[in-house]
DNA sequence: GGGGGGATCTAAACCGGTATAGCTTTGGCC
DNA sequence: GGCCAAAGCTATACCGGTTTAGATCCCCCC
């Protein structure tokens, strides 16, 4: 196994100083076209690749981005968002010679430790902030640490184009929820429940606000709201609670597909017929949604595109120092057999 | 924002040479207890942390491990294995000051490129090999690249304790499949189908061999085997195919939970009653299994423990140069309502 | 012919650690 | 007292890049 060629080998072979090789490799002015060609040719012949760690030491740059996920692995396992999001991120980073450092932690206590460690070790040049929360502690923390970041969605209290805020890459999910609710209203439903994710998560309350506004615009009360932790278990028990009501809903909107599928399970367990006795919608449009019985009406987002956009934004932010906010195609509802007209 | 303290600052403040500080920090002999204490105290006061990139450059070590997943994001999103596995890995690495570099690629072509890049950039000190395949190209590739690795399960053709092979961390899944098949046989089923994952994956054929052996030991044919790509879509279409047979099976064993749940969907779509008309089992025992209707009998493994064990093994391999094979608690079947006696 | 001035290039410092050769100091032993 | 070895420590090279100060050269122009 031959030793890897270094910049010194290239410099020697090309008969120039190593500084000049560095210049040539970084497209900096002050290298004559002839010399540049010669250097690059020699480098190719020697199969030279600049050493990442040497570069990191010299430039204080790690050429990697971080993603810290604070979720229980059980929930993550059923969640189609992250794999697709990561695949999208990866697609961009691979080409740019960047790597993705992933951390999965159970609670938000460890989360802060991980961010501090990533920063202290200069392990990453920037991070993605997913699952924004109310009064999100990560924002001031990363500010304090001086770690660049991109948020998925806009944090509370930050207005579009705020120059002090981290760049936000947003995919508006409210049109999807509004469409789902309106779809149910159009089918004649008058009592529609909403089983949402944890309230401390921004998207849970934002979606619920959109849901409530849609119902109220139709003159309906939006009082049947149950908060869960996004697990199928809590989706199931929320459904039990709803169906046990004196006046149970005729339709339930769930915050994710696993909860909706668990809701279908509970309804079937009770001998209800879907969608005749109960209409159900999910969120995320996971692959499974199409194949459960009845096929699940769900709200589709595009996590892959989200990942790509976020990666581009973070790349721009860390290289140029600024990055504009990005708005992606909003979520939309995919109608399937789990929703139908309310029984006469 | 004050500049981070370096080893030189500590050396100066403690009145010693920087070499000695390095020695003190790496618990090497040749430092008197008094001096060591003084150095460590001063370091704490200055909030000194050794620079990762400087260390990397000097030691040719990245203090990170890699995980390359070659799966379609759609499938990954429904798969409970990886999030839990990663959480297990992480739990070990965090304490050891290591990071996890993740790559999700769509096909096995890109896979090789990613491994080459990770190696050329010395981005990681070792990798985890999951989803072993027949004649797995990653093994010779990583050998050639000189990249340490740990395999999940033992590769083909390598015997226990092979000193030339990568350390294997195994969780035997055959007892789970055998138990599932036997469970169905005990319930009186005589025509049992197996919907398996891609045949090029080692675990798919291994599980099918265990399945076939169990049926044959009971004097039953094991001829109903359908290969899929692990998607719910193909799980559904395999189920269609089976139910369209002149003599359809009375029970189906699926290679993962999403396919089994899709199978339930197809059966319900056709008006079959479960488990009276058809018994169904899954694999992985995802959280959702318990909450679908009927609750899904599934085979449970422990991906979290698998991740921890694999991380420990890779840590040992990269630091000491050797690591013993590890065998974890085998998989077992969790019986639920989706399996029942065959109809008289 | 001499004096800018820009382009091209070199030498050397620097990033922050690790590793090694060698210098003191101390203590044991004859 | 003298010799030797081990312990404790320093000085310095080294890892492989980037960056800066300054040297050299060439061309143009007065």
Q: Can you state the percent helix, strand and coil of chain B, rounding each to 5? A: 45, 15, 40
- Per-residue pLDDT tens for B177-206? 999 999 999 999 999 999 999 999 999 999
**Do B279 and B338 contact (CB within 8 A), yes or no?**
yes
State whether B289 and B222 are in the same domain.
yes
B319 in contact with nucleic chain C (CB within 7 A):
no
- Per-residue pLDDT tens for A84-128? 999 999 999 999 999 999 999 988 888 999 999 999 999 999 999
State whether B151 and B188 are in the same domain.
no
A344, part of any domain? no
- Per-residue pLDDT tens for A121-141? 999 999 999 999 999 999 999
Other CB atoms within 10 A of residue A122 CB: 19
- Chain A residues 15-34 with Cβ under 7 Å of strand D are 18-19, 21-23, 25-26
B335, part of any domain? no
Show residues of chain B in contact with A43, CB under 8 Å.
none
B282, part of any domain? yes
**Cα distance between residue A126 and residue A149, in whole Å:** 5
Strand partners for B251: B192, B279
Q: At what angle do helices A81-95 and B108-120 cross, to 10 degrees?
A: 60
B253, part of any domain? yes
Residue whose C-alpha is closest to residue B82's, from A74, A77, A75? A77
Residue whose C-alpha is closest to residue B91's, from A104, A67, A99? A104
Strand partners for B328: B171
State whether A148 and A200 are in the same domain.
no
Contact B103 A80 (CB under 8 A): no
- Per-residue pLDDT tens for B274-314? 999 999 999 999 999 999 999 999 999 999 999 999 999 99
**Do A210 and A330 contact (CB within 8 A), yes or no?**
no
- Per-residue pLDDT tens for B92-119? 999 999 999 999 998 888 899 999 999 9
Average pLDDT value for residue range B217-225 = 96
Residue B2's pLDDT band (cuts 50, 70, 90): low
Given A87, A123, A233, which is nearest B287 (Cβ)? A233
Mean residue pLDDT across chain B: 94
**Cα distance between residue B116 and residue B206, in whole Å:** 29
B85 to chain A: nearest residue by CA?
Answer: A73
**Cα distance between residue A39 and residue A43, in whole Å:** 6
CATH of the domain at A272: 3.40.50.2300
Residue-wise DSSP of A141-181? HHHHHT--EEEESPPTT--TT-TTSPPEEEE--HHHHHHHH
Average pLDDT value for residue range B17-24 = 94
State whether A178 and A152 are in the same domain.
no
**Cα distance between residue A78 and residue A260, in whole Å:** 12
- For the CA of B20 and the C1' of C26, the distance in angstroms is 19
Within chain A, which residues score under 70 in pLDDT? 1-2, 344
**Do A282 and A260 contact (CB within 8 A), yes or no?**
yes
pLDDT of residue A306: 97
Average pLDDT value for residue range B127-134 = 96
Residue B29's pLDDT band (cuts 50, 70, 90): confident
Largest CA distance in chain B: 88
A284, part of any domain? yes
State whether B206 and B267 are in the same domain.
yes
A343, part of any domain? no
A337, part of any domain? no
Considering its fold, how many domains does chain B have in total? 3
pLDDT of residue B313: 98
* Residue numbers of the domain that contains B157: 64-172+303-330
pLDDT of residue A211: 98
State whether B39 and B156 are in the same domain.
no
State whether B282 and B311 are in the same domain.
no
A vs B, Cβ pairs < 8 A, gives 203
Show residues of chain B in contact with A267, CB under 8 Å.
293
Given A73, A79, A286, which is nearest B304 (Cβ)? A73
Tokens of B223: 């001829």
State whether A265 and A155 are in the same domain.
no
State whether A97 and A156 are in the same domain.
yes
Closest residue (CA) to C1' of nucleotide D15 is B58
State whether B77 and B157 are in the same domain.
yes
Residue whose C-alpha is closest to residue B110's, from B80, B137, B131? B137
Contact A79 B77 (CB under 8 A): yes
CATH of the domain at A45: 1.10.260.40
**Do A282 and A299 contact (CB within 8 A), yes or no?**
yes
Show residues of chain B in contact with A121, CB under 8 Å.
49, 52, 97, 99
Question: Which residue's entry shows tokens 């993740």?
Answer: B102
B338, part of any domain? no
B121 to chain A: nearest residue by CA?
Answer: A52
Give the DSSP letter of residue A228. Answer: -
State whether B144 and B258 are in the same domain.
no
State whether B39 and B89 are in the same domain.
no
**Cα distance between residue A278 and residue A191, in whole Å:** 11
A6 in contact with nucleic chain D (CB within 7 A):
yes
Q: At what angle do helices B7-14 and B18-25 cross, to 10 degrees?
A: 100
**Do B231 and B75 contact (CB within 8 A), yes or no?**
yes
B83 in contact with nucleic chain D (CB within 7 A):
no
- Strand positions, DSSP E, chain A: 64-70, 99-105, 126-129, 149-152, 168-171, 192-196, 225-227, 251-254, 279-281, 298-300, 326-328, 332-334
- Chain B residues 15-44 with Cβ under 7 Å of strand C are 18-19, 22, 25-26
């Amino acid at each position: 196994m031959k030793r890897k060629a270094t910049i010194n080998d290239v410099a020697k072979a090309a008969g120039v100083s190593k500084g000049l090789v560095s210049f040539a490799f970084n497209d900096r002015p002050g290298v004559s076209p002839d010399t540049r060609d010669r250097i690059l040719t020699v480098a190719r012949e020697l199969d030279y690749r600049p050493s990442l760690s040497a570069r990191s030491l010299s430039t204080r740059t790690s050429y990697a981005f971080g993603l810290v996920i604070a979720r229980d692995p059980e929930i993550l396992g059923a969640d189609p968002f992250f794999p697709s999001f990561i695949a999208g991120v990866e697609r961009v980073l691979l080409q740019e010679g960047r790597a993705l450092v992933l951390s999965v932690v159970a609670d938000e206590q460890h989360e802060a430790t991980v961010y501090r460690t990533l920063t202290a070790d200069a392990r990453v040049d920037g991070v993605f902030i997913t699952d924004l929360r109310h009064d999100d502690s990560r924002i001031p923390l990363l500010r304090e640490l001086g770690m660049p970041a991109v948020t998925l969605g806009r944090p509370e209290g930050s207005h579009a184009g705020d120059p002090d805020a981290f760049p936000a890459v947003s995919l508006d999910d409210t049109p999807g929820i509004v469409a789902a609710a309106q779809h149910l209203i159009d089918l004649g439903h008058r009592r529609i429940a909403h089983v949402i994710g944890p309230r401390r998560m921004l998207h849970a309350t934002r979606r619920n606000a959109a849901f409530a506004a849609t119902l109220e615009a139709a003159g309906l009360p939006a009082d049947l709201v149950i908060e869960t932790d996004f697990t199928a278990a809590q989706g199931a028990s929320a459904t039990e609670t709803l169906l046990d009501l004196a006046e149970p809903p005729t339709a339930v909107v769930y915050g994710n597909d696993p909860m909706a599928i668990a809701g279908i399970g509970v309804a079937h367990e009770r001998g209800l017929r879907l969608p005749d006795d109960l209409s159900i919608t999910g969120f995320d449009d996971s692959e499974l949604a199409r194949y459960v019985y009845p096929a699940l009406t769900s709200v589709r987002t595009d996590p892959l595109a989200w990942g790509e956009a976020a990666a581009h934004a973070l790349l721009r932010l860390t290289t140029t120092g600024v990055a504009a906010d990005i708005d992606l195609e909003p979520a939309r509802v995919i109608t399937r057999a789990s929703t139908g007209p309310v029984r006469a």
